[in-house]
Amino acid sequence: MTSITISHREMRLAESVSKQLANALVRRKLQPAFSDFYITHLAGLTPLIAVLDTARLGDHNPYTSQDLLHQLSTDLGGLPVYLSNHSGIRYVILLSPLPKLPRRVDLPLDVPRGKLAIGVRFSGQPVLLDWDTMLHLAVLGATGSGKSIFLQSLVLQAIRDEMQVLLSDIDQTTFGMLEGHPNLAAPIASTPQEALGLIEQAIAECDRRAELFKAIPERPQKLSEYNALMVKQGQEPLPRILVVLDEASSVLTALGGAKGAMGQALATLGWRGRKFGIHFVFAAQEFTKDILGPVRDQVGLTLCFRVRNAQMAERMGCKRAEHIPENRPGLAISNRHGPIQTYFVEASSLGQGQKLLPSLNDLELTLFTRAQRETSGRLSIPILVGWGQRERAARQMLADWELRGWVLRDPQRDNARYITSKLAEIMSPLHGDASYRQAGQAPSNPAR
Ligand SMILES: Nc1ncnc2c1ncn2[C@@H]1O[C@H](COP(=O)(O)OP(=O)(O)OP(=O)(O)O)[C@@H](O)[C@H]1O
Ligand SMILES: [Mg+2]
């Protein structure tokens, strides 16, 4: 059990709150039948938990009504009081008002590879999603609430993670700066018909990948398994693909709604794409039931920025998003994480044709440079250990690099691993100092 530190102030407060709570129940002719009080840490907060002995209560209902919780909170001078009734009845009382989320948090440069960072919680902890287990994403928000910046932060991370992207941007305000970017698998769609073309292209890619998967006796069930098998045979891994549809509702409506061509195509991509590492994100100012219908089950995470009404927030599983104030763009409610301040990115960091470096850390950068200089790009566990790495870390790094296609076994050279032209190109100084700074790293020596 981890011990927790509680300040004197919190102790005294907890004591007086527990007395006030008992008095508040008595005043309402309810039993102050508490069996335990304790303080814990929860999501960065330090609530007092008051456990009722349900055996001594009689009818439980008066103890769990929303009205009572409200009255208790008022009696406690406005401290938030919640009910936890998974097992027994507990009141969870926050000993301080809810902390506020910061108004702006810049996307960190050191998001771990294979992860997607979407923002920070009250506790200051980042919310990280894993591409490997992620379903698709639905994003809802009124105009000016922060959707486009959020989508840019996703695409920026996808590019850093060497994914390919397919983008639809009817207003041409969200992704214009990415036109011609090497990670685009197709030109940016600017009409509903072109957007449909992107989804069809993604489905065709599912078909192609299905054949590739079938050709392997091990029958991989997901992209990471397929890629692990491929690199073992010295073959190139397949990149993940992120499909982003901004203004998705208008695209869907223009193409016949949920039952139209786009609705059908999205539903297909929804259930097929994930196995093959193809994820989609669709964003809109509103979703009708009809529009959300065909993809609802395929969406793992829904995120609501400020929305116009409670019904819309509720439909997305993001209750209270209608209360987000207009002057808090970027603040959102996730169906899985509650309130989040999503990350801010400068549009210029996605700048024209700029190649974004994947996030190599300083150590990896050093090892890469050293291999280029001293071993003609050859890397092995003994070499890395010789350079001061622990064996386990060396093994892990090589496996990770292999999966990314950054090193490859060369059967001509006794299966030793060599840095591939892919990594060499990524690290090439041709991409300019700006991209190194972009990834928060110092320029390294060029690869040959
Ligand atoms: N995460 C954020 N942190 C801080 N400020 C933000 C954030 N996201 C957006 N903003 C601010 O809000 C403004 C509007 O954001 P954005 O363009 O993303 O809105 P939108 O939801 O796409 O609107 P529309 O539906 O009209 O396209 C931005 O220009 C920026 O100033
Ligand atoms: Mg927008």
Per-residue model confidence as pLDDT tens digits over 242-289? 999 999 988 998 998 888 999 999 999 999 998 999 999 999 998 887
Sequence spans of domains, the chain: 8-94, 115-350, 362-438
* 342 Cβ below 6 A of ligand 1: yes
pLDDT digits (tens, 9 = 90+) for 28-57: 999 999 999 998 877 667 789 999 999 998
Cα–ligand 2 centroid distance for 95 (angstroms): 38
* 147 Cβ below 6 A of ligand 1: yes
Cα–ligand 1 centroid distance for 82 (angstroms): 32
Cα–ligand 2 centroid distance for 284 (angstroms): 8
Cα–ligand 1 centroid distance for 329 (angstroms): 6
| Residues counted in the chain | 448
User: For all residues of the chain together, what is the average pLDDT?
Assistant: 86
| CATH 3.40.50.300 correct for 115-350 | yes
Mutation to probe ligand 1, out of 145, 244, 285 (largest number of atoms < 8 A from CB)? 145
* 145 Cβ below 6 A of ligand 1: yes
* 273 Cβ below 6 A of ligand 1: no
Cα–ligand 2 centroid distance for 342 (angstroms): 15
pLDDT at 437 over 50: no
pLDDT at 117 over 90: yes
* 47 Cβ below 6 A of ligand 1: no
Query: Ligand 1, atom 24: nearest CA belongs to which residue?
Result: 143
Per-residue model confidence (pLDDT) at position 43: 63
Q: Which is nearest to 17 in space by CA: 42, 49, 40, 41?
A: 49
Distance CA 363, CA 302 (A): 36
Which long-range contacts link 143-148 to residues 24+ away (Cβ below 8 Å)?
143/285, 144/326, 144/329, 145/305, 145/306, 145/307, 145/324, 145/329, 145/332, 146/305, 146/329, 146/330, 146/331, 146/332, 146/342, 147/246, 147/283, 147/285, 147/305, 148/173, 148/174, 148/246, 148/283
Other beta carbons within 10 angstroms of residue 189's beta carbon come to 23
pLDDT at 438 over 80: no
pLDDT band, very low/low/confident/very high, at 184 (cuts 50, 70, 90):
very high
pLDDT digits (tens, 9 = 90+) for 332-355: 999 999 899 999 998 777 764 455
Other beta carbons within 10 angstroms of residue 400's beta carbon come to 14
pLDDT at 114 over 80: yes
